[in-house]
Amino acid sequence: MARTTSSRGRGPATGRTSAQLGDQTIIRGEGGETHQIAGGDVPVLTTQQGAPVADDQNSLRIGRRGPTALEDFHLREKIFHFDHERIPERVVHARGFGAHGYFENYGALADITRADLFQRPGEKTPAFVRFSTVAGSKGSPDLARDVRGFAVKLYTKEGNWDLVGNNIPVFFIQDAIKFPDFVHAAKEEPDRGFPQAATAHDNFWDFISLNPESMNMVLWIMSDRTIPRSLRFMEGFGVHTFRLVNAAGKSTFVKFHWKPKLGMQSVVWNEALKINGADPDFHRRDMWDSIQSGAFPEWELGLQLFDEAFADKFAFDVLDATKLIPEEEVPIRRVGRLVLDRCVDNFFAETEQVAFGTGNIVPGIDFSNDPLLQGRNFSYLDTQLKRLGSANFTHLPINAPKCPFHTLQQDGHMAFINPKGRVNYEPNSWGGAAGGPREAPDKGFNSYPAEEQGQKLRIRSETFADHYSQARQFYLSQMPIEQSHIAAALTFELSKVETLAIRARMVGHLLNVDEALAKKVADGLRLKEMPKAAEPARAVDRSLKPSPALSLIGNAAGTFKGRKLGVLISDGVDAALLAALKAAIDAEGAVIKLVAPMVGGVAASDGSWIAADEKIDGGPSVVFDAVAVLLSAEGAALLVDEASARDFVADAFAHCKFIAHTAASMPLLAKAGVAADTGIVELRTASDAAGFVAACRQLRFWDREAKVKRV
């Protein structure tokens, strides 16, 4: 057997082992003595039991090359603990990214709710938010076409309120009893274990095509909403109708919305596919970078408030989670802002162990009878026991309330909040503090006393029977470019479905949404004949007015703030031009990243040295919102035959990005197939830089898309 002579092995000449650990060198002598050099005053490594560890490099052996001794408690403890590091990943929403922040209340809302966090203007409530994808496992790529979870935990002074929402205001199913079927169908197929984090497979579309109540959600998930550019640029929704209840006991129905301060933005599908290869952590890195740089992501909390009278006259049942209420019918009142200003200290302790639950509500907020919500209220508590392994998961710091709390629950695995004293039951006759916590009839949570009566039935209300009208309304509310993306996404996904009957069944549903859309998809799939329209349970209401608020591109914020410009540079780059571009980007509140043939940097035209952020194949244009190609003539000559440089330009062009360039860069642009349009801006002098950044505020030059996407 070969003997190792590496720096971590046993040096043949000295007979000593050595290891470089950060700034400290550990040298181990033959006799086992340990010397620490440098590193200063560091804590001593111990076992879990606190015993100091002398040697963490070698297990205990009998003789130099002999067997390992079972008594090596440090080895056993270390391996034992490592073997148990993982907890079950979430059955859905496994991949997530969390951050801390606060919710700041704009004004007092005492007239509509007694919820403590809404009583005092300017009050800040600590918050923890976890964003997630739904279908993929923990290690899946960020840019999967998927719904994004938007789960908010607000540590209010009267307990934790969790708003466990998504970035889409409607859902796939109406009744929680179908959730396991839906999730099974969406996830990897059980016999083969793939595809990962993708709905483009037979099982998903088989289920969906047999489940017309999903059609509204299907239109949403096939839209650009499921490929967001950043978690910072997406909306959030509580989805269900909830109740707000004021001190007088008056109830108002509410739907919760989160509106991103920087506006909404998505990527295009071809870009998403490439981002997943270039940077599978694209979303979490973006969130991490922006919080670490002090550019704190922000959303405003919006309330859609309505009463029973509105609910009665609204075209759909407000308890049906597959429907939304258009903003045009019930405007959104913005009541506060959510700011994320701190990354976690430990991903496992916080992001992995955070336990959200729709059942976590506080006085002043209440449930509605939405059957999806009612089922969720069971599932979330139940799942925490599976994942976190103990009914004491609320003792974990990320889950514990930040207000005082006193229960009479006790013991169990890992109980580390253990009350002192004699009393663990109620009622008791021990007086004063010795008697322990008491209920508070007025201050405590009182359920809204809704009148309920009826037969016990397994039945779906008639009022849930319209499956197509809002899908149609959503589709017609999109800009033409968005409509073409929906058609392309449906065609892509159904092209991955092997069973022709499923493809046809889906097109049959689309005929009830919009005939032109159905035809486009049928043509895209090359269906030999148009299937019959699916039989709707209730006739499609074609009179619903489009809701412009539902368009993503139509509501773009008109700013490049928070976005990223990628600049390709080479030796000889015009230093003044680059400085002007940087100044314009800084003034916009955006970020500039320099990409060069080699990461060490380039020598600029004025002799200065400019360090790069990325090597050309490590910083493809898909990770930027716009690009500038500032090559010198020599730089262009060098890169014109470099595939990654050509891709940088060709992808930016194909993805309809704004592209600035120097005249000298033209050979590369020409080789990459760039054709002139007004999204391509030549920078002649430094004074052109600001104009280019202003153009970038449109985010994409969509007029180009028809020229670069023909099928």
When asked if residue 90 is in the footprint of ligand HDD (CB under 6 A), the reply is yes
Among 93, 485, 655, 661, the active-site one is: 93
When asked if residue 269 is in the footprint of ligand HDD (CB under 6 A), the reply is no
When asked if residue 375 is in the footprint of ligand HDD (CB under 6 A), the reply is yes
Alpha helices, DSSP H only, in 158-300? Answer: 179-186, 202-209, 215-221, 269-278, 282-292
Q: Provide the edge-to-edge strand list for the sheet that holds 17-21.
A: 17-21, 24-28, 34-37
When asked if residue 91 is in the footprint of ligand HDD (CB under 6 A), the reply is yes
When asked if residue 261 is in the footprint of ligand HDD (CB under 6 A), the reply is no
- Give the CA distances from residue 215 to residues 144, 513, 536, 568, in Å, rounded to whole numbers and listed in that order: 20, 8, 11, 44
CA dist., res. 698 & res. 709, Å (int): 20
Closest CB to ligand HDD: residue number: 149
Closest distance to ligand HDD from the beta carbon of 330 (Å)? 19
Closest distance to ligand HDD from the beta carbon of 464 (Å)? 14
Closest distance to ligand HDD from the beta carbon of 188 (Å)? 17
When asked if residue 93 is in the footprint of ligand HDD (CB under 6 A), the reply is yes
Among 166, 167, 392, 512, the active-site one is: 166
The residues near 310 (Cβ < 8 Å, ≥ 6 apart) are 253, 330
CA dist., res. 462 & res. 538, Å (int): 9
Closest distance to ligand HDD from the beta carbon of 396 (Å)? 13
Mask for 300-339, x = binds ligand HDD (CB under 6 A): ---------------------x------------------
CB atoms under 10 Å from CB of 591, counted, come to 22
Are the C-beta atoms of residues 222 and 214 closer than 8 Å to each other?
Answer: no
- From candidates 26, 74, 92, 578, binder to ligand HDD by CB under 6 A: 92
Pick between residue 166 and residue 266 the one whose CB is nearest to ligand HDD: 166
Mask for 122-141, x = binds ligand HDD (CB under 6 A): --------x-x---------
CA dist., res. 265 & res. 249, Å (int): 40
CA dist., res. 581 & res. 692, Å (int): 9
- From candidates 114, 243, 376, 704, binder to ligand HDD by CB under 6 A: 376
CA 521 to chain centre: 29
> Among this protein's residues, is 93 annotated catalytic?
yes
Q: Which stretch binds ligand HDD (CB under 6 A): 88-96, 247-255, 434-442, 580-588?
A: 88-96
Pick between residue 231 and residue 305 the one whose CB is nearest to ligand HDD: 231
Pick between residue 377 and residue 644 the one whose CB is nearest to ligand HDD: 377
Of 393, 396, 313, the C-alpha closest to 350 is 396
Closest distance to ligand HDD from the beta carbon of 176 (Å)? 4
What's the chain's length in residues? 711
When asked if residue 648 is in the footprint of ligand HDD (CB under 6 A), the reply is no
Are the C-beta atoms of residues 554 and 580 closer than 8 Å to each other?
Answer: no
Q: Coil, strand, or helix at residue 100?
A: strand
> Among this protein's residues, is 160 annotated catalytic?
no
When asked if residue 164 is in the footprint of ligand HDD (CB under 6 A), the reply is yes
When asked if residue 226 is in the footprint of ligand HDD (CB under 6 A), the reply is no
Closest distance to ligand HDD from the beta carbon of 92 (Å)? 5
Closest distance to ligand HDD from the beta carbon of 459 (Å)? 18
DSSP string, 554-622: GG--S--TT-EEEEEE-TT--HHHHHHHHHHHHHHT-EEEEEESSTT-EE-TTS-EE--SEEGGGS-GG
User: Is residue 400 classed exposed, middle or buried when 0-12, 13-18 and 19+ CB atoms within 10 A define those classes?
Assistant: middle
Are the C-beta atoms of residues 486 and 219 closer than 8 Å to each other?
Answer: yes
When asked if residue 171 is in the footprint of ligand HDD (CB under 6 A), the reply is yes
Pick between residue 120 and residue 386 the one whose CB is nearest to ligand HDD: 386
When asked if residue 347 is in the footprint of ligand HDD (CB under 6 A), the reply is no
How many of the chain's residues bind ligand HDD (CB under 6 A)?
Answer: 26
Buried b (16+ CB within 10 A) or exposed e, 623-642: bbbbbbbbbbeebbebbbee
Pick between residue 90 and residue 563 the one whose CB is nearest to ligand HDD: 90
When asked if residue 179 is in the footprint of ligand HDD (CB under 6 A), the reply is yes
CA dist., res. 233 & res. 286, Å (int): 11
- From candidates 25, 119, 383, 555, binder to ligand HDD by CB under 6 A: 383
Catalytic machinery residues: 93, 166
Which residues contact ligand HDD by CB under 6 A?
A: 90-93, 96, 130, 132, 149, 151, 164-166, 171, 176, 179, 239, 321, 354-356, 372, 375-376, 379-380, 383
